Amino acid sequence: KKKVTTLQLTKMKQDREKISVLTAYDFTMAQIIDNAGIDVILVGDSASNTMVGNATTLFITIEQMIFYAKSVVNGTKRALVIVDMPFGTCSGDPMRSLEAAIKMMRETGADAIKVEGGSEIKDDVKKIIDAGIPVMAHLGLMPQSINKYGTYAIRGKDEKEAEKLMQDCLLMEELGAFGILLEKIPAKLATEISEKIKIPTIGIGAGSGTDGQVLVIQDVMGMNKEFSPKFLRRYADLHTIMTEATQHYISDVKAQKFPNENESY
Ligand code: KIV
Ligand code: NA
């Protein structure tokens, strides 16, 4: 299988073929969604929530992200693999940011990185791209800034924030970012941005006008019942399937129905 490239994503935008993106954090999941034909796998710092149970993404370290990313790369043949730079690793000190990005690329074998922020981190982004590392910018709702916002509510609703968002997207395109992730912003604004820039936009809670869509794998597969934002569509009910399978296994063990003779040596 031929690897998906960042260049191909731009081509997909030109051809109006939507880009499919899901998160993954481990080998098995990556293998399943890669074989199913997903275009891009994002090793999100949402691993802090989904894999560790933390309340925010702020607690995950670069070493921990490298562990998850390496596992995903090992399970991926075709999809482009993007890894999140965790909180504090791309925050206004270009040399340090570049070192962190190099470490991430070298120790994981991932294809690209993603960073949260706009004009505030323009020097970091330039430095990283100049070193040959493809960067996706993450704008709109930025979970690493939750303590600054104080809420996970929709961003870019007022004119001033919408204008700054548009300017940040144009800036990131100018700097050479290969794509922009837009989280939880009005569909109309996301569509305007997507029409204005030539690099692909990937949306989550940003309507249907973006060039691609991303969701968190546990959410898509219906593994958790608690998280139900409006933008989420569940494509399976693994929570029920896994709960029932576990209960079935427990009762078989208790009743000495497992293992049977064929399952024994
Ligand atoms: O960490 C993450 O899962 C993300 C989402 C926007 C998909 O960045
Ligand atoms: Na993230």
Q: How high is the pLDDT of residue 1? A: 74
Please tell me whether 114 is known to bind a ligand. yes
Pairing mode, if any, of strands 212-215 and 201-204? parallel
Report percent pLDDT > 70 for the chain.
100
Catalytic residues: 183
Please tell me whether 45 is known to bind a ligand. yes
Average pLDDT over residues 197-217: 98
23 pLDDT band, cuts 50/70/90, is very high
Q: Name the average pLDDT for the chain.
A: 98
Question: Is the pLDDT at 226 greater than 90, yes or no?
Answer: no
Per-residue DSSP letters for the chain?
-PPP-HHHHHHHHHTTPPEEEEE--SHHHHHHHHHHT-SEEEE-TTHHHHTT--SSGGG--HHHHHHHHHHHHHT-SSSEEEEEPPTTSSSS-HHHHHHHHHHHHHHH--SEEEEE-SGGGHHHHHHHHHTT--EEEEEES-GGGHHHH--------SHHHHHHHHHHHHHHHHHT-SEEEEES--HHHHHHHHHH-SS-EEEESS-S-SSEEEE-HHHHTT--SS---TT---S--HHHHHHHHHHHHHHHHHTT-SS-STT--
Q: Say if ligand 1 is within 6 A of residue 204 CB.
A: yes
Q: Please choose from 42, 49, 116 the residue to mutate so as to test ligand 1's pocket, defined by most ligand atoms within 8 A of CB.
A: 42
* pLDDT tens digit sequence for 137-186: 999 999 999 999 999 999 999 999 999 999 999 999 999 999 999 999 99
Question: Is the pLDDT at 41 greater than 80, yes or no?
Answer: yes
Q: Which atom of ligand 1 is nearest to the CA of 23?
A: 3
The rounded distance, in Å, linking the Cα atoms of 61 and 90 is: 12
Residue ranges of domains in the chain:
6-234, 238-265
Q: Is the peptide bond before 259 cis (omega within 30 degrees of 0)?
A: yes
* pLDDT tens digit sequence for 50-106: 999 999 999 999 999 999 999 999 999 999 999 999 999 998 999 999 999 999 999
Average pLDDT over residues 240-263: 98
Domain 6-234 has CATH 3.20.20.60: yes
Q: How high is the pLDDT of residue 225? A: 86
The ligand minimizing its distance to the Cα of 220 is 1
Neighbour-count burial of 84, counting CB atoms closer than 10 A to its CB (0-12 exposed, 13-18 middle, 19+ buried): buried
Question: Is the pLDDT at 47 greater than 80, yes or no?
Answer: yes
Q: Say if ligand 1 is within 6 A of residue 84 CB.
A: yes
* pLDDT tens digit sequence for 111-122: 999 999 999 999
Q: How high is the pLDDT of residue 188? A: 98
205 pLDDT band, cuts 50/70/90, is very high
Average pLDDT over residues 35-52: 98
